[in-house]
Structure 1
Amino acid sequence: MWCALTVYQVEGQECIQMEQTFANLYEASKLLANPSRRNPQEILQRSFSQVIKETKDLEKTIPVDEESIAKGRAFFAKLGFPPVENFDVFGNIKINDSEGPSRYLNITDVEGHLQEHRDKMIIETIESVQKKARFCTISDFEEIRNKAMKEYRNNIEMDNRIAEERDRILGGNNPDHPMEYASEMYTKENPIKKRVLSYANVVQSLNGQRLQNKDFNVIAGFEKLAEVDCENNKMVGTEPHNVWNLLAWLAGEGNDISEGRREGNYMKAYLSKLPNTPESIELSHHLTNLARQWFERQFVRFVDMFLLKRILTANVGGNPEFGHRLKAFIKIQFKTDDQWNIQNLELAEDFPKWVYIYFLIRSGHFKNALVYVTEIAEKYPQDKKFMKYLEEYVENPHHLLSQATRKEIEYEHMLLKNNGNSVDPYKLALYKLLGRCDIYEDHVNGAINTLEDFMWFQLSLVRENIPEIEYGHGKYTLEDLQKRIVASGPSTFSANGANPWDYAIVLISSLQFERAVSHLYQQEATRLDAVHLAIACAYYGLLRIYTKPIQTDDNIFAISAKNIPEINFDQLVYRYTKVYVFENTKCILNYILLLSLFTPHHGFPNNSMVEKAREYIRRLVLFTKSFKEFLGEATDYGGRKPGLVDTYKALLGITTEADMVNYIYIPLVRSCIEAGLYTDAVKICEVGSDYNEATNILINQLESSINLPILDPPRLNPEDKKWNDELVKFSRELLTRYKRTPNIKCNIPLSKTYTVDTLLNILHFRELYESGRYDDAIQYMLRLNVVPLHDENDNVCQTLRQLKSGDKVIVKCIPKIVRILVDALERLHDCKCTHKDGSRDYDAEHENIRNCDRYARILFRFTGMADNDMLGELVYNEFLDLLMEFNQGVPKN
């Protein structure tokens, strides 16, 4: 600033006033540097006149030109001075109008002022953060608590429902020990036992074939079990058999495929996020045709079985042609005493021609039907138009008619419908089928008499893979049929819904596998079949499932946000294992492994189901505590005998020992530690031959027990004492075994064993203190020497060096040890030593006080030399108060 001011010629009173102002500032600035003995500084020796002289000399060296004047203007503009045209006259500049300091300080202790300002800012910041943190902590705590309580209540309710269901199915009461109860239950004769175990054997065989990368006819295995009525030991009706047979036909079980395997064959297309994708449409078209063909095959089988039971009456002879057998079937079924049972049947040569044509198409013999129509058209010219319709229908790959033909057949269909009961019902059904007329209306009851007839007719009307423009008013997709079936409900397809298998056939044939599983699962009598129906669908990739994390909700069916039905497959399996096979850990494991059917390799979007399988297996291991059975056993030579998880690890995405550690061992150990099951955590580490980590777990557990809060007044909690006794016993036995086993001893550093021994001693020291044996606790620590209590200065320094270079876990215990010692010394100081007769021993009392004072001063010296990381939140005021109290009570010699 001095340099800038010298650019201009300062004259008159303003200059004098300015010089006086700067002179005052200069003299005041000398006081800012306040020298002291601790912080010596040089005092400015130059006078103000000398500074003025040097400034003027410096001014002469600065050229006065336009550029300097421009720089000066810019400088003053930055300082906030008003703009001035003539800078030669300094009177235009009003120094009093410039901005001055907002507050004048009457003190010159700048460091003290800055420290005061800093402390004030720290206090305000801490108060603000604490206020905000307290609000966030309380709200977060409330949210976490409510969420945890809700989950806890859901778990309790679910366990109660599972127990009630198990008792209802297996009989008996809910046991306190379910595993023992299960063993008792399954030694008794239970009608479901044999079937449950048979299903479990099929699942085990399925997983065995998966391990060998081979396909398995899972539906055939389940179908054999569904044919037997366990309660009455007799064959059941044909409905369960038909359901399994239909599913096998849709899945293509037993058929050779050109590439890959049948496992998960349909998953990628069926689980497509958008049902209207080309892959999804193509799959729907393919499966819809398969379902229609299955009903056609079923009708052929029905005709053959019908004739077989009436072999003498049918008199079919040796003609193998189906048309010949069909005519025999029609004659027996529709004719009695040489009279046709149904009126208005149109006859050709005394035979119902429309019935025959309809049944040929109903059985899938389209070409045979066209040949027959061509033959009768020559004799009955009025049927030539129908021959043209049928020919176009058969030759079209999608069985569609042209718009012109469709208009013709729609007109004729309207005329037939208006004739009422006088028309042949099978002729009306044929015109409706070919022209896809009045799709949403059912008025051919005379021709459609069974559930199978209805579904075949509806599937024949469905079209999936044709352009929108070709639909016209005859648009009827699989989705339309599915909505129609759901809206009708089970009672429409079975009297009051009495037979759940009827509705299951309808749902599966319309590719609603999830609803079929849910429908059968709602009926207790078919719940066992529902679970395994879901497994079979999942194996071939025909089941949409939840993709949410593991949850406790027992609702196994839901509609997604995209209006797509889904099955909670992992919960379905979990509930089944809880109710039916909870006594057999190997069976439970095999059912859990079924979650791994849903993998990205098969087209599932992520690996979440495999992760759930691992999680359920870890839960099973913790629940049963069968560590050796599931995880194997460590050998004396450092290896590991494989367990059940090793047998099936390929299905869990585990290929190496590192994967086993990361996916199974480490999460298991973490779960055990969180639940306080340190002994289980150690056992799991031992299975994996990780004795170093087992020692770390033991060390952390001992450190946690040492640093637990102390009751006021100090006393031993019975539960804590029992816990500590078990911990000490387990630790000493484990440490002794490790030291005696050569291959274990060489893998554990000596520092770890020293740390365990030291922590055990510190824990004993704490127990002495909590038992009220304060003097014994101090003497024990005196011998242990973790914290120095001797008078020598070298001992304090040596102990500090050992702690800094030693195990950090022991350092974590130092604040607790020091606090215990402080409290013990204070309590000993307050105690008065007495003889048995009650008389006071003043010498012993004084000696105790002197010892307490000496120990306290040594601790004070130790804490003063230690750093904050070692002492944590230790407050030195405790020592100051203690020393003041001791000094007041120390007797003077």
Structure 2
Amino acid sequence: MTEYSPPLRDGELTTNQSTKDNIRILNELIDASKDIPTNTSGLGHIQLSINEIKKRAQQLRSSDGSKSDLTKAHYLLAGGGLRVSDINSSVKILQSSNILEQTVLENNDGELDTYLKLKKDENVLSSIEYLLMEASNDFHSFLASNIKFKLSSQKYDIYENFGINVNEKDKIKEVIPTLEQPIWGSSGNNILQNKGHSKLNVNENFLIREKFERYAKIIHRFNNARQANEPFSLDEEIISMITTSNDSKNRQIFESWKIISTVKGSDDIVRSGKNYLEKQFLDYVNTLYSRNLSEGLPTNTNKIKSFIDIKLKNNNTNTWKFPNMTIVNGVPIWALIFYLLRAGLKEEALEVATNNKACFKKVEGSFLKYIRAYVSSDNHKLPDHYASQLHNEYNQYIKCSLDGDPYRLAVYKVIGRCDLTRKNISTITLNIEDWLWIHFMLIKDNISDNEPIYEKYSLEDFQNIILSYGTKNLNNFYFQSLLLSGLYESAIEYMYTISEIDAVHLALGLVNHGLLKTHQPSNKVSDDNIISNSSKSVFSFSKILGNYIHSFKYSDPRIAAEYLILLALDDTANPISVCHEAIIELILDSREFTILLGKINRDGTRIPGILEERKPLLYLRDKENFLHSITEPAARRADEGGRIHDSLLLYQLSEEYDIVVESVNKLLSDMLSNTGLNKPLVTENSNPNTNPILLAQRLLSMYSDNLEISKKVHYKNKETCILLLRLADARKLFLFRQWQNCLSHVEEMDLLPFGDALSARTKAQEFLNLDNNIIKNIPVLLIMVMKCISALIEKIDNSDYQSSAKKQQIVALKNIARNCIVYAGIIQYRMPREVYSTLIKIESSL
């Protein structure tokens, strides 16, 4: 049966013919490939620049045979699935992206310049990379050396807490171990991790360090006074500090603290703002008057007259700057009333109005009753019927008067809150403080829904104006404007960009006055920001304080603790818990356990640290409450973080002596079970603070000497520790090849079956009741005993003199070995598999 073959199409070869042609082509390619230079030919590689390749490509395209060449290329690239049109489009894309140069260098000089330019850029980048690498290496070297020094300065305090005496020579010879990086904080809430990206370094230079220390001393005295329930004005102390400072930039900070000192509560922002601005103005008037003493008694009214003469008179011509002012006996009466009100001298303003009643025009006839009602009211607001009358007069006569006294308009506007659509008074010159005061005078505290929109002007409206004006319009008084208008959160945020150290203490001053809370709703403030980006700012005192403390928590842990205590200024539950959490973070981060928590002497007496002395400020009643809330959680956190030695010390400081012994037992058990029998457990260079055997010996000695401490250690834990230490002694005898002594030592421990055949089953039953730290070392103990027996039998067999006593000794040793094997067989599933195999191998060789 013939095989079916499909018909041939034009240009298609039969299978046989195609195969022959393919073989022939392949042979030709193989022969031609022998002429291609290889890596070992010594000819190197052909390297052309992009411009050179492009130029040669253009030459090929412009040649006479370009068409045929293109056709050949088309067939050549067809096997790889490429088309010439696709290549051209790709080249155009590269050109448009400036990856290929748009012009071709026409001569070798151009290509050389390009090459040199690229080489120069490459060299510059290499140099920069090298410098960055060197800087990084220097930084890491500096960091490593400083961390080692830090640990060196602390570890001997740790020794003392465990009752370890260290010679001065040892301090010099000791090799510092590598310090592991701590990973502290609960659920990512560590406020000391500098998530706010603070750049402050209190040790950067002398001036910053000096300011830092001066602030710190005030905070220390502040906490002392709080603890002793004694009066202490934080505002006045810091104002005094700023006043004595030589820093000329402190004027703004000084004014800010003066503002804070006048604020008595968050509900009186408008009143406090007015009072501050009025007092500030009167102080300024007094200063001017002292420089330009005039005739007459130095009354407040005369001082204001003197101020008006200085500010509103042209010195050269002795004329008034505003020609339309009403002058009575050489005094502009409306200007006098306005500035008396501006200085908060309302009674004096009423007196001037009363004494000059006859001088008022007809349209001003009712003014006296208005100002009398204004001054006599509790909140300095006109009654509704008077306010309505004054508004009518203002709209009909005062506002539209072309030749009226500009200060008369200002007085009417301030007293009656007139024309709120135009809050500014453009006809008289006002500075920023005057502008703020007028707005405070126009604000209405209680606005009813029935009032027309043009009569409504609230504090929130004013705050929005302040924020919209910003520093561009309010210049250097922007921060004070924020404080005066009650925008405390925005004020701290703004000051934070100018001076972080001052922003922190200004925030503290506001918290102390109850104007800011020490905590924030967790769903409004992110971890990285001290102020939220919402329309209503939400302040995080813990974040700003944490960022500040981050810069000195290692260098000055005492000061850091004093600041963290301030988190509990707001005595509600949340700030207190945040404070306690931050204190724990500081303990674990700084590792200054002795300074912060105190120490326990060798005789068991306890010396408290600075945190325990501040118990009342942490809202902790007594020592037990402090240990339960601060020290013990810190120890537990250290234990969870794998910092075993830190947790041991912290548990001891928290007087959890039973946990200390339990933890030491675990360390001791791990060391005994993981150290080979041929290696010593204690050497001359062993660290008494980290070597479990030395540590256990010290603790047992300390706890045994103190009956009170001894009662707090569970008997089973103490017994386990003693057994593990005896096992360590047996290991030492084994290492020194004292086989018989080692066996005797193990027999006294009463853990293995050294008796008759039934002892193996008895000990196997007791095995289940052993402490886990002992169980972990039974396999090593069995191997050690079996090797001792093997060594003793070998020694007896190799002795020259043989007797029945020696044979009996060998029999007794083999009985012990047999009992151990039976014992091991019963508990073998509680041991590593290879241990039982090793025991069988040793037993078979006996």
Aligned to 1:555: 529
Is the counterpart of residue 584 in structure 1 residue 597 in structure 2?
A: no
Aligned to 1:170: 204
Aligned to 1:529: 502
Is the counterpart of residue 197 in structure 1 residue 213 in structure 2?
A: yes
Aligned to 1:32: none
Q: Residues of 2 paired with 1:819 and 1:439: CA distance?
A: 92
Q: Residues of 2 paired with 1:663 and 1:742: CA distance?
A: 26
Aligned to 2:242: 226
Aligned to 1:572: 544
Aligned to 1:340: 320
Q: Residues of 2 paired with 1:407 and 1:157: CA distance?
A: 57
Contact 1:196 1:580 in 2 (8 A): no
Aligned to 2:620: 654
% identity of equivalent residues: 21
Q: CA deviation at 1:219?
A: 0.3
CA RMSD, Structure 1 to Structure 2 (Å): 4.9
Q: Match of 1:205, as an amino acid? A: R
Q: Residues of 2 paired with 1:725 and 1:206: CA distance?
A: 41
Q: Residues of 2 paired with 1:544 and 1:620: CA distance?
A: 22
Q: Residues of 1 paired with 2:617 and 2:767: CA distance?
A: 49
Q: Residues of 2 paired with 1:728 and 1:638: CA distance?
A: 20
Q: Residues of 2 paired with 1:214 and 1:155: CA distance?
A: 30
Aligned to 2:342: 362
Q: Residues of 2 paired with 1:237 and 1:695: CA distance?
A: 56
Query: 1:71-110 alignment to 2 at 5 Å?
Result: none
List gaps (5 residues or longer) in structure 2: 1-182, 787-793, 795-810
SS in 1 for 2:365: helix
Aligned to 1:643: 609
SS in 1 for 2:479: helix
Q: Residue 438 of structure 2: which of 454, 457, 460 is its match?
A: 457
Aligned to 1:444: 425
SS in 2 for 1:214: coil
Contact 1:634 1:688 in 2 (8 A): no
Contact 1:166 1:580 in 2 (8 A): yes
Contact 2:612 2:623 in 1 (8 A): no
Query: Quick one: structure 1 residues 781 and 492, their matched pair in 2 at CA, closer, same or farther if it must change by over 3 Å?
Result: farther
Q: CA deviation at 1:790?
A: 6.6
Aligned to 2:278: 296
Q: CA deviation at 1:545?
A: 3.6
Q: Residue 397 of structure 1: which of 374, 378, 382 is its match?
A: 378
Aligned to 1:596: 568
Q: CA deviation at 1:409?
A: 4.1
Q: Residue 827 of structure 2: which of 863, 866, 874 is its match?
A: 863
Q: Match of 1:613, as an amino acid? A: C
Q: Residue 295 of structure 2: which of 313, 316, 332 is its match?
A: 316
List gaps (5 residues or longer) in structure 1: 1-145, 172-189, 252-265, 271-282, 601-605, 826-832, 834-846, 865-870
Q: Residue 250 of structure 1: which of 257, 263, 267 is its match?
A: 263
Q: Residues of 2 paired with 1:157 and 1:619: CA distance?
A: 12
CA deviation vs aligned residue, 1:456-506 (integer Å, no higher than 9, x gap): 111111222465446764222222222221222122211xxxx3xx22211
Q: Residues of 2 paired with 1:153 and 1:609: CA distance?
A: 14
Aligned to 1:213: 229
Aligned to 1:38: none
Contact 1:195 1:230 in 2 (8 A): no
SS in 2 for 1:565: coil
Query: 1:826-837 alignment to 2 at 5 Å?
Result: none
CA deviation vs aligned residue, 1:686-725 (integer Å, no higher than 9, x gap): 44555333212212334566788x99xx999xxxx99998
Aligned to 1:127: none
Query: Quick one: structure 1 residues 433 and 706, their matched pair in 2 at CA, closer, same or farther if it must change by over 3 Å?
Result: farther
Aligned to 1:727: 692
Q: CA deviation at 1:454?
A: 1.2
Q: Match of 1:227, as an amino acid? A: T
Q: Residues of 2 paired with 1:155 and 1:207: CA distance?
A: 21
SS in 2 for 1:165: coil
Aligned to 2:163: none
SS in 2 for 1:664: helix
CA deviation vs aligned residue, 1:655-694 (integer Å, no higher than 9, x gap): 2222022112211221232233333333334445553332
Aligned to 1:539: 512
Q: CA deviation at 1:353?
A: 2.5
Q: Residues of 2 paired with 1:348 and 1:450: CA distance?
A: 26
Query: What's the TM-score, normalizing by structure 2?
Result: 0.63
Q: Residues of 2 paired with 1:154 and 1:617: CA distance?
A: 10
Q: Residue 504 of structure 1: which of 479, 487, 491 is its match?
A: 479
Q: Match of 1:431, as an amino acid? A: Y
Q: Residues of 2 paired with 1:452 and 1:679: CA distance?
A: 61
Q: Residue 766 of structure 2: which of 802, 808, 814 is its match?
A: 802
Q: Residues of 2 paired with 1:351 and 1:520: CA distance?
A: 43
Q: CA deviation at 1:199?
A: 1.3
Q: Residues of 2 paired with 1:789 and 1:637: CA distance?
A: 40
RCO higher in structure (CA 8 A, sep ≥6): 2
After TM superposition, the structure 1 stretch with the greater mean CA deviation from structure 2, 471-480 or 745-754, is 745-754
Query: 1:54-73 alignment to 2 at 5 Å?
Result: none
Q: Residues of 2 paired with 1:440 and 1:587: CA distance?
A: 52
SS in 2 for 1:641: strand
SS in 2 for 1:633: strand
Is the counterpart of residue 754 in structure 1 residue 719 in structure 2?
A: yes
Q: Residues of 2 paired with 1:523 and 1:750: CA distance?
A: 61
Q: Match of 1:301, as an amino acid? A: D
Is the counterpart of residue 329 in structure 1 residue 307 in structure 2?
A: yes
Contact 1:628 1:687 in 2 (8 A): no
Q: Residue 518 of structure 1: which of 469, 485, 493 is its match?
A: 493
Q: Residues of 1 paired with 2:603 and 2:705: CA distance?
A: 14
Aligned to 1:683: 649
Q: Match of 2:723, as an amino acid? A: T
Q: CA deviation at 1:226?
A: 1.8
Q: Match of 1:246, as an amino acid? A: I
Contact 2:194 2:546 in 1 (8 A): no
Q: Match of 1:339, as an amino acid? A: T
Q: Match of 1:458, as an amino acid? A: H
Query: Quick one: structure 1 residues 156 and 237, their matched pair in 2 at CA, closer, same or farther if it must change by over 3 Å?
Result: closer
Contact 1:788 1:862 in 2 (8 A): no
Aligned to 1:693: 659
Q: Match of 1:657, as an amino acid? A: K
Q: Match of 1:241, as an amino acid? A: F
Contact 2:673 2:780 in 1 (8 A): no
Query: Quick one: structure 1 residues 697 and 416, their matched pair in 2 at CA, closer, same or farther if it must change by over 3 Å?
Result: farther
Contact 2:761 2:823 in 1 (8 A): no
Q: CA deviation at 1:220?
A: 0.4
Q: Match of 2:599, as an amino acid? A: E
Q: Residues of 2 paired with 1:404 and 1:746: CA distance?
A: 83
Query: Quick one: structure 1 residues 350 and 460, their matched pair in 2 at CA, closer, same or farther if it must change by over 3 Å?
Result: same
Query: Quick one: structure 1 residues 768 and 443, their matched pair in 2 at CA, closer, same or farther if it must change by over 3 Å?
Result: farther
Q: CA deviation at 1:207?
A: 0.7
Q: Residues of 2 paired with 1:147 and 1:752: CA distance?
A: 29
Aligned to 1:131: none
Q: Match of 1:858, as an amino acid? A: V
Contact 2:755 2:816 in 1 (8 A): no
Query: Quick one: structure 1 residues 489 and 157, their matched pair in 2 at CA, closer, same or farther if it must change by over 3 Å?
Result: same
